[in-house]
Amino acid sequence: MDEKHGKTPEDQTNEEEISTLPDKEIRVTIVKMNQNLGNKMEAQINRLEAQAKKLQQMFNKGLEELKNRPSTMNNTITEINKYTRAKQ
């Protein structure tokens, strides 16, 4: 990496190549680079949205399980009480 400019050799090569291009080709190259960046950003957003959706589903499932625990416990207590009364 170029310490003075904070650039990798690949970046420097790209800049050297671009600087030798005519203006029209430079503009076309910049547009393509922007489109490529936009596509990468969109793909990353899609991955993050999918991860967020999975996390939301896991959270909702866990929340439902917690909500159902008291009724499960009450049902278990009721069954135990019925069993112990029947034994008496």
pLDDT, mean over the chain: 80
Q: How many separate domains does the chain show? A: 1
- Domain range for residue 58? 23-87
5 assigned to some structural domain: no
Q: Tell the burial category of 29 from Cβ atoms under 10 Å away from its Cβ (0-12, 13-18, 19+).
A: middle
48 assigned to some structural domain: yes
Report pLDDT digits (tens) over 2-15. 555 555 555 555 66
pTM check: above 0.75: no
Q: Are 18 and 24 in contact (CB under 8 A)?
A: no
13 assigned to some structural domain: no
